[in-house]
Amino acid sequence: MSLKQGAFNGEKFVWGTSASAFQTEGAYLTDGKGESVWDVFTQKKGKIKNNENARVACDFYHNYKSDLGLMAELGIRAFRFSISWSRILPEGTGRINQKGIDFYNRVIDECRRLGIEPWITLYHWDLPQYLELKGGWTNRDVVSWFMEYTQVCIKNFADRVKYWMVLNEPSVFTGAGYFLGIHAPGRRGISNYIPAIHHAALCQAEGGRVIKAIAPESVVGTTFSCTYIEPFSNREKDIQAALRADALLNRMFIEPLTGKGYPTHDLKFLERIERYIKSGDREKLAFNMDFIGIQNYTREVVKHTYFMPYIQAKMVKASKRRVKTTAMGWEVYPDSLYFMLKRYSDDLPGMPLIVTENGAAFHDVVYNQQVQDTDRSEYIKQSIIRIKRAEAEGIQVKGYFVWSFTDNFEWAEGYHPRFGLVYVDFTNQVRIVKSSGRQYGEFIKNQIINP
């Protein structure tokens, strides 16, 4: 992958927040929106904690002006959000829903009016249900469906949107949705997982090509979940287990994108992907992104086990290691962000890196209409310190986006984990800026980390 620093030459470091359409918008089927796989999945009993759903969520669809106004008030000048595929193409292809296009035009225009730079993610897990009925990510036709969807977005919004991300965390939506079945659409098994991997990997490259063909001045990236992996012990079996876990979690999609192919050497089960690779695919998998978005929250400690199929590895839970954890049960380990920035920088010399997600869920308490979330404030502070350390070492970190601006619907965990800089009372949609939100705004304004 060639040097792409030119895309960010002369630009200031980007400080922003992230969100996704399904987790925030609500407005289920409003103004012609079609169902997504997550709309259907959340209707199934037992799939979501407390059987909650996102039919209203933060109601960003109706509250976008006030939410963006609050963002601007805090001094946050970049907002990463996604487009709901089924809001603009209710059947996934073909008929365009103009009211959906109009909504995103309003959001983009309001961002511009307030001096907030919109950064758009094309796909953040909410595949139209019509397409899932045709096989979803297991159907090779998803590549052409996704290219059509991308064309619609770029033709309608690229005149005012410069920064684009193709996919959000493909390792998660393929693994959790098509192998483990714990996320939408709830499919399980290696026969679903393998084709979904290949088709998603093709889409991340083809999507980049579509954007550049229509809007060549756009700055295009894609985002990867990444976790710092350490072996449980110095035993060779644990070391090899950690290597396999790293290939599965961190290398599955970045390596084909950069022309290295799939990590089949470390993941033997991946050899089955050959049956889905057609002539010319190996070349199509690669694309020279303008930046890479990395999304890091924690580290994992891995040990060998014969009882875990395909990878013979398992995570040692943070609770068993007696370390500090978040409400998600994830270890609080800020060095993980630094290590992953260094790792990506070493693997992709000169490639601009954007931390497109980083944050923490803690138990928030409202007292006198205030939320003093000192744990989250400290987490963000320590993350920024690691970014500054990486910058000082010459690593090309160009931006940092906190997940998330508001509390929202956290997939299978429902509304229990709160990641937001802004507290949301989901019974009445009242917003309360947490102390972490005000601290982040002050940092952006003054660029000073207070002790």
Residue 38 in tokens: 């997550």
User: Residue 3 — very low, low, confident or very high, per pLDDT cuts 50/70/90?
Assistant: very low
pLDDT at site 200: 98
Residue 244 in tokens: 């396999």
Contacts (Cβ under 8 Å, ≥6 apart) of 134: 141
Within 215-334, residue ranges assigned H as helices are 236-246, 254-257, 281-284
* pLDDT of 11 higher than 80: no
Distance from C-alpha of 229 to C-alpha of 244, rounded to nearest angstrom? 10
Residue 315's identity, in one-letter code, is M
In this predicted model, what pLDDT tens digit does every residue of 217-263 receive, in sequence order? Answer: 999 999 999 999 999 999 999 999 999 999 999 999 999 999 999 99
Residue 296, SS3 per DSSP: coil
What is the pairing mode between strands 291-295 and 353-357? parallel
Within 268-334, residue ranges assigned H as helices are 281-284
* pLDDT of 451 higher than 90: no
User: Residue 1 — very low, low, confident or very high, per pLDDT cuts 50/70/90?
Assistant: very low
In the DSSP assignment, the letter for residue 247 is: I
- What phi and psi, each to the nearest 5 degrees, are found at residue 51? 55, 35
In this predicted model, what pLDDT tens digit does every residue of 151-161 receive, in sequence order? Answer: 999 999 999 99
Distance from C-alpha of 232 to C-alpha of 237, rounded to nearest angstrom? 10
Distance from C-alpha of 74 to C-alpha of 133, rounded to nearest angstrom? 43
Contact 110, 68 (CB under 8 A): yes
Q: What is the mean pLDDT of residues 130-143?
A: 98
In this predicted model, what pLDDT tens digit does every residue of 251-299 receive, in sequence order? Answer: 999 999 999 999 999 999 999 999 999 999 999 999 999 999 999 999 9
Percent of the chain with pLDDT over 70: 98
Distance from C-alpha of 326 to C-alpha of 332, rounded to nearest angstrom? 7
In what helix (H) or strand (E) does residue 168 lie, and over which residues does it extend? strand 163-168
Q: Which pTM was predicted?
A: 0.96
Residues with a catalytic annotation lie at: 169, 357
10: alpha, beta or left, given left = phi > 0 and alpha = psi -120 to 50? left
Whole-number Cα distances in Å, 415 to 51, 162, 171, 301: 10, 32, 23, 27
For the chain, what is the mean pLDDT? 96
In this predicted model, what pLDDT tens digit does every residue of 99-132 receive, in sequence order? Answer: 999 999 999 999 999 999 999 999 999 999 999 9
Task: For the chain, list the domains and their CATH numbers.
Answer: 5-446 (3.20.20.80)
Contact 123, 21 (CB under 8 A): no
pLDDT at site 387: 97
Q: What is the mean pLDDT of residues 376-385?
A: 97
User: Residue 342 — very low, low, confident or very high, per pLDDT cuts 50/70/90?
Assistant: very high
